[in-house]
Each structure stands twice: as structure tokens, then as C-alpha cells.
Amino acid sequence: MSATAPVTGPEQLAAVLDAAGPGLRRMIDRAERRLEEVAASEGAALAQHTTSTLAAGGKRLRPMVVFLCAGEAESDALVGAGAAVELLHMATLVHDDVLDRAELRRGRPTVYAAAGTGAATATGDLLFSRAFAELAATGSPEAVRALSEASSALARGELMQREDAWSASVSPARYLERCELKTARLFEAACRLGALLGTPGAGGADALAAFGSGIGVAFQILDDVLDVAGPPERTGKPRGTDLLDGTVTLPLILARERDPELAALDLKPEVRTPAAAAALCDRIAATGALDDSRSEALRHVAAAKKELQRLELDKRQRTALELVADGVVDRYG
């Protein structure tokens, strides 16, 4: 597996930062420093696991969404909220890597690979705990509630995914419900936290939350498209990893609707090797299911952007949020 490229390209991030103005850059830098402080506060050996997870970086898309939804506000509470959503996100990644026995993430060894199941489970728990500690420090019970609801939804989505593993009867509606739970609720919470702790009147919390939910669903669909489409040298992982672990995603569901032979296939015994998974990816792509899945993602982006029209936003804020929405589906064109 090669070193991974960031999922959202640097060019999109630069466009958002340009549109939003210097306040966003300042807030992202503060959140980054806060994450470093959290890692450093955890003492020797475990700081190492936490730090490697934090340092593996990523695009800090969720904190960015918090700050964009907060308007012009720049407070410690907002920095804490941005750090909290990122900590929760990282907690789920660390646990996912245990479950998937993943050796690398973004080109670095996972906590699981470096330190084993026990240390990785505990590190994830620690990141969870620290996420809530950050929000407790904001003094807002509503903020804690927003994150705990997202966190419960994430776990429910994870359970749903495992329950549906290898199932031939997952409907598009059920798939979308899982995207909602597993991914969209945390984006929704990021938007709510921004609205809650940001400039009063910066935006209606419900419309912003709906915006977050829409881009979250689109984000997950595109992730699932990239798992089939690759290319591996851009996504940083082989094609078909979802197929190998039985995760039924929209491209497969739509391909089965279009290819009766594929629909009749029992995938569990058929897809056991990376080569078999890659061959199945080609077969899914041949049905046109990837384009249809992308279109579904675009519909969610369009719906999300429509929510923004209900709000009186400052022009820079609106433009930056629209760029974020476009960015989640404009990964590798």
C-alpha cells in the first residue's frame, strides 16, 4: 500500500480558505494546537499512540465545518468544539482500524498495527473521553448533547453495517440510513455546534444541521464510490476493501439491480482475495453503477446547498460552505 493522498485535495482546501478569509485559518490553527495539547497531556506511552493518530492528520474537514457555521466568531469554546468533533472522528477511525485489522492509514502505521488491539481499543476510548471533556469545558450542555447524539448514531451505524454484512437484500434506503448514522450525523453535529457557539444570528441551527447532514451523506457515498473506482495510488488503499469485508455499498446495490448474474452471486465465498475484489470492482463499474452513485451523491450536495438559501449568510460564509459541499463530491473528479 502506498502513502495515501489526502481525500479532499489541497486545491479544494485552499479555495475554501481563500473564500472564508483569515479567520478560518486562525481557527483551524488554534484547533490544531488544541489537539496537540490534548495529545501531550496524556503522558508518555499513550501520548505516543494519540499523537501518531493526531499527526496522521487528515484534512480537519469537520472542525472547518464547525468554524464556517459559526460565522465570524472566534472563541475558545469554538476551538474546543472543533477539537471535539475531530477527536470523536479519530476515536471511530482508531476503533475501525482494529475491526478491519488495518495496518496503514494515510500512509502511517495504525495504532492497531503499532501497539495491538488492546492499546488501540483503549486509545479510541481515550479519544472519545477527551472529545466530551472538550465540550464540557464549553459550559454548554446543548453542545454535549449534540455530540453524544452523533456519537450514539455513529455506533448504531457501525452495528447496522455489521448486521448487514454480505447481505443481498440491503435496499438503497437502508444504505442511505446507514450513511446518515455512520457519517452524516457527525457533520450535522459539527454544524449545530458552530451555530450554537458561534455569532448569534450567524445562521439558523436547523438549516445548517440539514446542510451538514446532506454533505455527510454525499461524503459517505463518494467514499464508497472511490472504494470501487480507485485509483489506488490516489485513494491510498486497494480497490474493493469494502467488498472484502462484506460491506454492502451503493455501487454494489445498484450494480446488482442492473446485472442479474451479479445479483444471483453469493459474494462471501466468491470474494476472498484482493484480485477477486478488484475483478468485482470492474464488473460493478461496467454496469454504470458508479455514475449513478455519484449522481445520488450530487443530489445530496444540491439539497444541502439549497438549505443554505434559507439562511441569511454573509457572502464569504455562503461561498465557503458551498465550496465545502462541492468539495466532498469533487474528489479525484
Q: Which residues bind its own copies (CB under 8 A)?
A: 42-43, 45-46, 49, 91-92, 95, 98-99, 115-119, 121-126, 128-130, 132-133, 135-142, 144-145, 147-149, 151-152, 154-156, 158-160, 162-163
Query: Which lies closer to its own copies via its Cβ, residue 70 or residue 115?
Result: 115
Q: How far is the CB of 139 from its own copies (least distance, A)?
A: 5
Q: How far is the CB of 41 from its own copies (least distance, A)?
A: 9
Q: How far is the CB of 228 from its own copies (least distance, A)?
A: 22
Dihedral angle over CA of 127, 132, 134, 137, nearest 10: -160
Q: How far is the CB of 170 from its own copies (least distance, A)?
A: 14
Query: Which lies closer to its own copies via its Cβ, residue 159 or residue 286?
Result: 159
Q: All 3 cell numbers of residue 68?
A: 464556517
Query: Which lies closer to its own copies via its Cβ, residue 92 or residue 287?
Result: 92
Q: How far is the CB of 113 from its own copies (least distance, A)?
A: 15
Q: How far is the CB of 126 from its own copies (least distance, A)?
A: 4
Query: Which lies closer to its own copies via its Cβ, residue 51 or residue 148?
Result: 148
Residues 141 and 13: their CA atoms lie apart, in Å, by: 31
Query: Which lies closer to its own copies via its Cβ, residue 140 or residue 319?
Result: 140
Cα torsion 76, 78, 82, 88: sign: positive
Query: Which lies closer to its own copies via its Cβ, residue 103 or residue 125?
Result: 125
Q: How far is the CB of 164 from its own copies (least distance, A)?
A: 10
Query: Which lies closer to its own copies via its Cβ, residue 117 or residue 273?
Result: 117
